[in-house]
Amino acid sequence: MYCRGCQKRVKAAREVVDRFVDEGKVVYGITTGFGKFSDVVISKEEAKKLQRNLIVSHACGVGEELSEEVVRAIMLLRANALSKGYSGIRLETLENSCRNVK
């Protein structure tokens, strides 16, 4: 679904994120809270929970449901953006997202 260069960039970005967490480096949104909580340092043990809570907090919608075709297009656009290698997403997560578009 995406190029080998994309795989390398995604893996490299994830390695950076993992290194920041392992080293306890203070990095906004990775080892800190967000917004007014940006000065709150998140421990390595709490980092996974922070990321999950971020996803859950954004997992809602209002209004009428979108068609399957529109949802698949949005997912494809998101996968394209994530494949650039700037987000720190795990390759497995991106691959799973791509499988769901098919």
Please report, as a single letter, which amino acid is at residue 51: Q
Residue 71 to residue 66: CA distance in whole angstroms = 6
CA 29 from centroid of its chain's CA atoms: 11
Give the other-Cβ count within 10 Å of 10's Cβ. Answer: 25
Identify the active-site residue in 12, 15, 25, 28: 28
Q: Is 28 considered catalytic here?
A: yes
Phi-psi region of 68 (alpha: psi -120 to 50; beta: other; left: phi over 0): alpha
Q: Cα angle at 66 between 63 and 68, to 5 degrees? A: 160
Catalytic residue annotation: 28
